[in-house]
Structure 1
Amino acid sequence: MLQLATLIKHHSTFRPAQVAVVVEQERLSWREFEARVDRCACLLSSLGVRKGDRVATVLSNCRELLEVYWAVPSIGAVLVPLSPLLMASGLASLLRDAGAVCLITDRSMAPVVDQIRGELPGLTAEHVLMIDGPTGDYADYAAAPFGNASEGGFESVPVGQDELFNVMYTSGTTGLPKGIMHTHFVRSMYCTLFASAWRMSPESVVLHTGAIVFNGAFVTMMPCFYLGARYVLQRQFDPEEAIEIIARERVTHTMMVPAQIIAVLNSPNFSAERLSSLQMILSLGAPLYQEQKDLLNRLLPDRFYELYGLTEGFWTILDKTQSLRKAGSVGSPPCFFEMRIVRDDGSDAPPGEVGEIVGRGPSLMTGYYGRPDLTAQAIRNGWLFTGDLGYTDDEGYLYLVDRKKDMIDSGGVKIYPRDIEEVAARHPAVREVAVFGVAHEKWGETPVAAVLLRDGAATSASELRSWINERVDARYQRLHALQIMDDFPRNAAGKTLKRAMRDAYQAGNGASPGS
């Protein structure tokens, strides 16, 4: 029987004194980490949480969240990680949707939970746990070690490989979040396939800098815990601190979204020497500009990997050995995966022709929780239709073009924002760029850019817009307007929210070209 919760006990038995988890100044061995996980599991069991029940978390990065991640499956319950950035209405909606019977959060969320308790009759006060101590009417469970739960000796509840491990809600860059269901088998594929892809070993040191409520965190977390490697968790991303952690802990593997990679490369304390221990720098979550990939490969050669993937369960991986030869590609499907590029009429496109990326493999979700209608739209005859556009070369490597929903239709001509973004990223003043379509009376839609400048950069919006418009490949790609911003709206995963920027631009009735 495949049971992921047994991983912690395995490492506690066979390498008990090895460091398992590092969070700031706290260093836990496998034996110590297992004891904490057992206490959490005992507490949840004492509250009546049973096999198949949904346990939601609303926590920022902390040691306790890692403990919950392993305690919940050990009692056969189902993880529902939720972002602490959710507003009250959004949180209530997702808790209802998941049917959560227990919520684990912290003191800062008490006012929000108070506000929505009346909307959640299935979630009683004693099943809302504040990990940092007693708050109001909530049960008195202290942060460490999860109250008065019994010490050790917890026996994991048997769980079949096809039973649910978690429900992961999409980060919501488009539309309402959907609950993506992953089984224990799917998460075991994360363990084994990614361990091999990243060349991890039990001696690896894995740093995670982003929010671990984001599914991308599991891309390195699962293989790390499977192998018994060391997991280093940064509470909140800070590029200077991340560089110091890598140097101090001799980190070998890390993954970051493009915005974080760009921030590290631009950090005042960046140096190749400080990051010399790294064997892998993985980019995922959104395309990294080619300009930044080239810089990374020059400064830290033979370390760059890129993952294109969906939480729904299809991936391609650009291996570090191909990152120069296949510049611009997001790699190829791993073993046991298949990929097609599909035209609008359902036929397969040949190499070089853009179509929808469609794939299947052993990590495919079982569906969207409670939404068989949406599941049927996404998975057809066992194939996941991603909603992303791309093409393959003659060797089968994938080149990502854009999201179908991000594509701009200007006078009947298809404009892919990423093409314009790649041009803008070459300007020395540009740190980040996002291009999106806005309504236009004549053309239907027209492209607008939002830009973040590098520190100390001196350029105007009109100058930058002109520079980009002189270099795009076609007249129809020219920007209607460009805005210089202090920061982009982002979701919990660090992804840029183009939809929010487009809505804000249009709500302000737009701006004249070059403004």
Structure 2
Amino acid sequence: MLELATLIPRHARFRPDATAVVFGDERLTYAQFGARVARAANLLRSLGIRKGDKVATVLGNSREALELVWAVPAIGAALVPLSPLLMPSGLASLLRDSDAKCLVSQRSMLPALDAIRAELAPLLPGRVLLIDGETREFGDYAALTAAQDETFVPESCGPDDLFNIMYTSGTTGLPKGIMHSHYVRSMYCLLMAAAYRMTPESRTLHAGAIVFNGAYVTMMPSFWLGGTYVLLPQFDAEATIAAIERERITHIVLVPTQIIAILSSPQYRPERLASLECILSLGAPLLQQHKDRLNADLPHRFYELYGLTEGFLTILDREDAVRKAGSVGRPPQHFDMRIVDLDGRDLPPREIGEIVGRGPVRMQGYYKRPDLTQQAVKGGWLFSGDMGYVDEEGFLYLVDRKKDMIDSGGMKVYPRDVEEVVARHPAVREVAVFGVPHEKWGETPVAAVVLREPRSASAAELRDWINERVAARYQRVSEVLVLPDFPRSAAGKTLKRELRAPYWAGREQKI
């Protein structure tokens, strides 16, 4: 197994002058970044953080957030990255659930931190730090790290030691904490580097929030190889295009809404993205028309990852992106996949069932929830809750989330089938289809859309256009909602549950 605690020190020794991190105007060599990681690790030790403890961060994209990704596991502690978009009550719940012994945050979070003083009391004084200045109660991370020694001896960590706890977004109740071991994160380094053809010369850009697991898909192999990691403060289509061109980026990971924003930007021209060798889409299905445009504008660059943070994935390789249009690829080496019916029996090619899989990146379980772990992992297989089928070559085709499937008069309506139709309308930029109650049919589809230009199409026009083109009568939408934007998670995913909620108020809503 890779000793992840020694990874940054090794590059600081053998690749000291290679550029490790670019953030804003800062450009850090591996020697400089290694020194910052060492100081941060020594600071945590000086605060009494020991192997097995949990260190929470509530940070936007920053140099400090990135160095803590490596400093916390280097002392044998587990990182708990939390989103700064959390409401105070949610933040308090996750701090309590994670058993965090230390919190590193930012000044913009002071109102939320003030609102949860009771939850922070066990960490005070001394173990709540701000990266951008101190207050009377909270320590100054910058000053405290600067005072630390650059000499650092990493903690020896075994394959089963905990690297991080990643909390799911959650639909009801408390989000689940997904536990990843040092072994799992080592596999991210090895398997993803090979899958995306990364080398020490690769230049990786990340524009989304690094608090989410999708960031680790390219972050881990970039640092394992000693490549350059370019981090933007937040996603902005124009800034992302400019950074790709300026920094000669070779690898980028994006969620579908970010890809659509780039393709829709007036600044988008394929030649500005010519340095790219890998455009990786993950987090949600990317509609086929956007895949087709990428493959036409920037051929032999598009990859797609279907996966769960819990630990199963498939990858559509760039060499298969056109030949297997519509697929999300195959499991990589050392992974297995099955399609099963409701009784857990294997289904033949082309038959739709639940996707189950296993492989070397599977979680240790949900933190303090063995009951939920047993529901998700059965006999070593992770049950995804997603529906799909495989073709005769073993390529996976997603149909939809089991929970998103619409039961209309006994007929199964998969929202993605309707979404592919809606997306072909020239006025539509984004679409989300979901089920709402219906007195006769039980459920019926509704389409929410974001238009490319305001008032370029009416809801009635769109409804008629869609219903003339869907494959079956039961796929017809009863309503079209024209919205200025969709509710989104901090990771940029469309929140269908919030779109559905008003229709299901007072009823038993599917979750």
TM-score (normalizing by structure 1): 0.96
SS at structure 2 position matched to 1:125? coil
* Residue 460 (1) aligns with residue 488 (2): no
Residue of structure 2 aligned with 1:317, choices 312, 315, 318: 315
Cross-structure match for 2:444: 446
Name the residue aligned to 2:417: 419
Cα contact 2:253–2:282 (8 A) shared by 1: yes
SS for the counterpart of 1:320 is coil
Alignment map for 1:145-156 (pairs within 5 Å): 146-156=144-154
Q: Distance in 1 between matches of 2:147 and 2:181?
A: 28
SS at match of 1:102: strand
- Letter of the 1:163 partner, please give it: D
The answer as to whether partners of 1:367 and 1:375 remain within 8 angstroms in 2 is: yes
Match of 2:35?
A: 35
SS in 2 for 1:274: helix
Aligned equivalents of 2:68 and 2:145: distance in 1?
14
> 1:25 — aligned with what?
25
Amino acid at match of 1:10: R
Deviations 1:423-469 (A, max 9, x none): 00111111110011111111111111110111366110110111111
The question of whether the paired residues in 1 share the 8 Å contact of 2:388 and 2:397 is answered with: yes
Is the Cα–Cα contact under 8 Å of residues 2 and 159 in structure 1 kept in the other structure?
no
- Distance in 2 (alpha carbons) for counterparts of 1:330 and 1:77: 35
Q: Distance in 1 between matches of 2:316 and 2:479?
A: 34
Partner of 1:513: none
Please identify, of 397-406 and 166-175, the stretch whose mean Cα deviation from structure 2 is larger: 166-175
Supply the distance in 1 between the matched residues of 2:173 and 2:420 (Cα, whole angstroms). 26
Tell me which residue corresponds to 1:9: 9
Q: Does the Cα contact within 8 Å between 1:378 and 1:386 map onto a contact in 2?
A: yes
User: How many angstroms does 1:114 deviate by?
Assistant: 1.7
Structure 2 length normalisation: TM-score? Answer: 0.97
Q: Which amino acid aligns with 1:32?
A: Q
- Code of the residue aligned with 2:412 in structure 1: it is K
Aligned match of 1:55: 55
- Verify the 8 A CA contact 2:487 2:498 in the aligned structure 1: yes
- The answer to whether structure 1 residue 96 and structure 2 residue 96 are counterparts is yes
User: Matches of 2:342 and 2:121 in 1, distance apart?
Assistant: 45
Partner of 1:379: 377
- Structure 1 residue 148 displacement after superposition: 4.5
> What is the rounded CA distance, in whole Å, between the counterparts of 1:457 and 1:349 in structure 2?
46
CA deviation profile, 1:294-332 (whole Å, cap 9, x unmatched): 011111111000000000000000000000000000000
User: CA contact under 8 A between 2:93 and 2:174: conserved in structure 1?
Assistant: no
Q: How does 1:425-444 map to 2 (within 5 A)?
A: 425-444=423-442
Q: Whole-Å Cα distance in 1 between the matches of residues 432 and 172 of structure 2?
A: 15
Distance 1:421 1:172 in 2: 24
- Partner amino acid, structure 2, of 1:388: D
- The separation in 1 between residues aligned to 2:472 and 2:490, in whole angstroms, is 35
Partner of 2:114: 114
Query: Distance between the aligned counterparts of 2:144 and 2:18, measured in 1?
Result: 23
What SS does the aligned partner of 1:122 have? helix
Deviation at 1:412, TM superposition (A): 1.3
Distance (Å, rounded) in 2 between the aligned partners of 1:232 and 1:505:
42
> Structure 2: how far apart are the matches of 1:146 and 1:213?
23
Partner-residue secondary structure (3-state), 2:95: helix
Amino acid at match of 2:170: G
Select which of 289, 292, 303 maps to 1:291. 289
Paired residue for 2:205, among 180, 204, 207? 207
1:216 corresponding residue in structure 2 = 214
- Among 462, 475, 478, the alignment partner of 1:477 is 475
Letter in 1 for 2:351: E
1:323-365 per-position Cα deviation (integer Å, ceiling 9, x unaligned): 0000000000000000000001211010000000000001110
Corresponding residue number in structure 2 for 1:126: 126
AA aligned to 1:398 is L
Q: State how 1:62-73 maps to structure 2 within 5 Å.
A: 62-73=62-73
String of CA shifts for 1:185-225, please: whole Å, max 9, x gaps.
00000000000000000000000010000100000000000
Q: What is aligned with 2:404? A: 406
| Match 1:170 to one of 159, 168, 173 | 168
Residues 508 and 346 (structure 1), Cα distance of their counterparts in 2 relative to 1, 3 Å cut: closer
Deviations 1:215-244 (A, max 9, x none): 000000000000000000011100011000
Shift of 1:124: 2.2
Unaligned runs of 5+ in 2: none
Looking at structure 1, the residues matched to 113 and 418 of structure 2 have their Cα atoms a distance apart, in angstroms, of 43
Matched residue pairs, number? 507
Secondary structure in 1 matching 2:262: helix
Superposed CA RMSD in Å reads 1.4
The alignment partner of 1:166 has SS state of strand
**Change in 2 beyond 3 A, CA 1:311/1:44:** same
Whole-angstrom CA distance in 1 between matches of 2:372 and 2:305: 25
What does residue 512 of structure 1 align with? none
Segments of 4+ in structure 1 off by > 6 A? Answer: none
Q: Secondary structure at the match of 1:336?
A: coil
What per-residue deviation string (whole Å, max 9, x for no partner) do you get for residues 43-82 of structure 1?
1111101101000000000000001111001111000000
1:389 and 2:387 correspond: yes
Counterpart code for 1:328: G
AA partner of residue 295 (structure 2): N
* Aligned partners of 1:131 and 1:146 also within 8 Å: no
Q: 1:440 to 1:85 in 2, by over 3 A?
A: same
User: Do the aligned residues in 2 keep the contact of 1:110 with 1:135 (CA within 8 Å)?
Assistant: no
SS in 1 for 2:272: coil
**Preserved contact between residue 171 and residue 214 of structure 1 (Cα < 8 Å):** no
Q: Distance in 1 between matches of 2:312 and 2:51?
A: 28
In 1: Cα distance, 2:434 partner to 2:506 partner: 15
Write the distance in 1 (CA, Å) between the matches of 2:463 and 2:506.
Answer: 20
